[in-house]
Each structure stands twice: as C-alpha cells, then as structure tokens.
C-alpha cells in the first residue's frame, strides 16, 4: 500500500527527448505506476500498454526553463562551495610544511588547481544554461 521508488517496480528509459517509457516488472503494479505518474503534479498523462507505461513529456514553458536554469545555478553554487572547502583544507596542509618556499609553492599549486576547477564549473554552467534555455 505504501509508496516505493520506481526503480524497485520498473525500469525507466528515455525513448526520445520527449518520450519516457517505464517497463514495469510485475503486471500487477502497472496501474499503480500510471496513477503515481498522474499524481506527480507534473501534468503528465501516462499511456498503459501491457507491462509498459509511456509518458509524453510536454514542451518546457519559459517558466519551467527558468526554474531549471535556477536549479543549475544552485547546484553550481554547491559545487563551488565544496571547492572552497577543499581549498581551505589543502591550504591548511600547505601551511604545515616546514619550508616557507614549500608553503608558497604548495599554496600556488592549490590556487591553480582550485581556479581550474572553478573555471570548469563556470563553463559547464554556461553550457547547461544555454541548453536549458534553448527553445
């Protein structure tokens, strides 16, 4: 009677960019899966065919694309926060080195690596935002 993850009752596959197919393992669960998809609040209409449930995905609206863009930025900020934490930890280790020259060299290397990954996050965010906002 309770809710369970989709992965425990079936396998979801993307047939195309706008069509999902859920292959349900047990035929007794097909209607429950279809009802759960309908009740998801995402305005989806499943089509049942044997042990398969197909879901046509609507075109994203400007509002939903903007929400995805905000989510991309939120996840990117989490990644940058993790990078800053890793940088602080590495800098503490660098400062514990015996020689001042080693400390400076290690700090430069940490900054170089951190900047490289921060730039990579920024590039990926820009790419993903362009993809999400594409009509």
Mean pLDDT, range 32-48, rounded to an integer? 91
Write down the pLDDT at residue 17. Answer: 85
pTM: 0.67
Cβ atoms of 54 and 46 closer than 8 Å: yes
Q: 55-84 pLDDT, tens per residue?
A: 999 888 899 899 999 999 999 999 999 999
Q: Please say if the pLDDT value at position 14 is more than 80.
A: yes
Looking at the DSSP bridge assignments, the partners of residue 22 are: 12, 53
Q: Show the tokens assigned to 7.
A: 């992965």
Write down the pLDDT at residue 29. Answer: 93
Q: Show the tokens assigned to 91.
A: 């800098």
For helices 100-133 and 62-95, angle between their N-to-C axes, nearest 10 degrees: 170
Q: Please say if the pLDDT value at position 1 is more than 70.
A: no
Looking at the DSSP bridge assignments, the partners of residue 53 are: 22, 48
Write down the pLDDT at residue 115. Answer: 97
Q: 89-132 pLDDT, tens per residue?
A: 999 999 999 999 999 999 999 999 999 999 999 999 999 999 98
């Amino acid at each position: 009677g309770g809710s369970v993850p989709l992965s425990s009752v079936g396998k979801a596959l993307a047939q195309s960019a706008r069509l999902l197919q859920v292959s349900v393992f047990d035929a007794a669960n097909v209607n429950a899966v279809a009802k759960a998809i309908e009740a998801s609040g995402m305005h989806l209409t499943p089509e049942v065919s044997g042990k398969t449930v197909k879901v046509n995905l609507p075109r994203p609206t400007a509002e939903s694309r903007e929400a995805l863009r905000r989510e991309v930025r939120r996840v990117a900020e989490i990644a940058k926060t993790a990078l800053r934490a890793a940088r602080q930890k590495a800098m503490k280790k660098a400062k514990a080195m015996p020689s001042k020259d080693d400390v400076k060299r290690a700090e430069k290397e940490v900054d170089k690596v951190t900047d490289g990954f921060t730039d990579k996050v920024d590039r990926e965010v820009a790419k993903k935002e362009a993809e999400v906002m594409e009509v």
